Amino acid sequence: MQSSAAAVDVDPADQSWVEGNKTLGQVTKDIGDHLDGKPGEWWWIGFGISLLALGLGGFCIVYLMFTGIGCFGLNKTIGWAFEITNFVFWVGIGHAGTLISAILYLLRQRWRTAVNRSAEAMTLIAVMCAGLFPLMHMGRPWFFFYLAPYPNTRGSLWMNFRSPLVWDMLAISTYFTVSLVFWYLGLIPDLATLRDRAKGVKKFIYGIFSFGWDGSSRTWKHYELVYLILAGLATPLVLSVHSVVSSDFATSLIPGWHTTIFPPYFVAGAIFSGFAMVLTLMLVARKTMHFEEYITLRHIEAMTKVMLLTSMIVGLAYMTEFFIAWYSGDRYEQQHFLVRFLGPYGWWAFIMYGCNMVIPQVLWFKAVRRNLLLVFIITLSTNVGMWFERWVIIVSSLQTDFLPSSWEHYHPTPFDYGVTLGSFGLFFTVFLLFARFLPMIAIAEIKHEVAHGGAPHGEHEAHGAHAAAALPRAEAEAV
């Protein structure tokens, strides 16, 4: 017999973000059924392509281990290229997850509930992809432990705290650790729900990782307190991590890099590219996994509005760069931005400005924001444009330094392309495995939306209201 709390339907007056008259049992069934049985044909096709790309990238990395970074297209002028471009790109992709989960949770934004779980997983995977590239760029990655400030027997031999590699290591490891704990904490109630509806080995595994969750009012009280504290800790990381990455460039004297606008500029760009990647993944999941009632047009429209805002901030940063180059009277800065447009990489710059500034402006129109095909195309163009942005910043700045006699063109090698493709293969392989074995949508969050019309956490008289929304044990029987 189904629990009375599980029979709560959506009141249209509450304007819930879940479409249709859903009961709590239906929410569990709709999301949990995708983890039972065999994956569909499209999953296997995507997994096969991703695994093939990952294998190609793995081969290139193994070859790099034996031959050194000379297999890349680096030269005496351009010492950073595809590898650091990919590093900054993936760090940026990883920002949307923490933003959606932490900042929007603190701001009580209800629309985060349908996408926060996948965005958090995307953050972890993107940070893993990003961490590969500084290690590869070291030339001898097996010495990575020299970047860690651990107690050692090397006497006075410590890492060089002035090195950007050390900054990146400390920032990325901290960000990854906090994001992992935050993601896993939010997953525990859902693991308990899956535990109570599973059988055999799955039930045992879900039982271990759910840590004996019982859904009581006391459990929810402590859970929400810890979740709130972690959200408060994770929020500054959204601003600090990519600010540290931007300092890799801003603390140098290279024309095009030596500017104080880089930290806010990079943070806005990270949020812009991260939301674009989240939307790209969610639009595919919405169609292939039939989550139309949970990832609604209202969710998509809210995310496109954030993309529009951050696109305008990024565009303002672009124009500020040109203004400062003109206003400062620095001929090296002026020469750099002339070469950015008129030099050998001019077409790369036009792609960057077009994809990041011009194309997103169509999101001003509601008809475009609610057209899924157009939104999907815009998110893809944004991902392309943000990758080109990092390329233009890094390669074109290094090419036109203070000595014209040292200017040299950069020619990527097949290994540059292979490692880049391999990072995308790693990202999509791990994400597809996540979608196969763990719920892409936060079940407990959606149940709370259904049961209470979307009132934010903590706005009920007792935390037991949230516990009743989850009902991990009762739901297993109801389904």
Which single residue is written with the structure tokens 């095909």? 373
Closest among 247, 361, 373, 369 to 314, alpha carbons compared: 361
Average pLDDT over residues 204-223: 87
Give the gyration radius of the chain's Cα atoms: 24
Q: How confident is the model at residue 6 (pLDDT cuts 50, 70, 90)?
A: very low
- 3-state class (DSSP) for residue 402: coil
> What average pLDDT does range 262-280 have in this prediction?
90
Tokens for 168, please give them: 């990146």
Q: What is the pLDDT of residue 12?
A: 40
Q: Which span out of 22-36, 151-165, 362-376, 397-411 was modeled with the highest average pLDDT? A: 362-376
Cα separation of 323 and 215, whole Å? 57
For the ranges 138-142, 158-162, 274-278, 287-291, the one whose mean pLDDT is highest: 274-278
Burial of 414 (0-12, 13-18, 19+ CB in 10 A): exposed
Question: What is the structure's pLDDT at 244?
Answer: 84
Q: Count Cα atoms within 13 angstroms, Cβ side, for 194.
A: 29
CA 467/CA 450 separation, integer angstroms:
13
Give me the pLDDT at residue 125, please. Answer: 93
Q: What's the CA dihedral at 327, 329, 334, 335 to 10 degrees? A: 170
- Helices and strands in the chain, H and E counts: 20, 0
Q: How far is CA 273 from CA 123, 301, 464, in A?
A: 12, 16, 38
Maximum mean pLDDT: which of 306-310, 391-395, 456-460? 306-310
Q: Which pLDDT score, from 0 to 100, does residue 288 have?
A: 86
Tokens of 117: 């779980």
Note the pLDDT tens digit of each residue in 330-384: 888 888 888 888 877 788 889 999 999 999 999 999 999 999 999 999 999 999 9
Instruction: Label residues 84-112 b or e (16+ Cβ within 10 Å = b).
Output: bbbbbbbbbbbbbbbbbbbbbbeeeebbb
Question: In which element (H, E) is residue 379 found?
Answer: helix 372-391
Tell me the one-letter amino acid at 140.
R
**pLDDT of res. 126:** 92
Q: Average pLDDT for residues 101-105, to the nearest whole number? A: 84
Residue 476 pLDDT greater than 50, yes or no? no
Lowest mean pLDDT among 40-54, 89-103, 152-166, 330-344: 152-166
Split at pLDDT 50, 70, 90, the class of 452 is low
* CA separation for the pair 193, 62 (Å, rounded): 42
Domain locations in the chain as residue ranges: 24-142+171-478
Q: Output DSSP code: residue 3.
A: -
Q: Is the pLDDT score of 13 beyond 50?
A: no
Q: pTM for the full model? A: 0.86
**Residue 384 to residue 391: CA distance in whole angstroms:** 11
pLDDT at 133 over 80: yes
Least confident of 13-22, 36-45, 325-334: 13-22
Contact assessment for residue 165 and residue 188, using Cβ atoms and an 8 Å cutoff = no
Least confident segment among 109-113, 137-141, 169-173: 137-141
- What's the chain's average pLDDT? 82
CA 203 to CA 450: how far, in whole Å? 26
Higher pLDDT, 284 or 98: 284
- Determine the average pLDDT of the residues in 430-452: 84
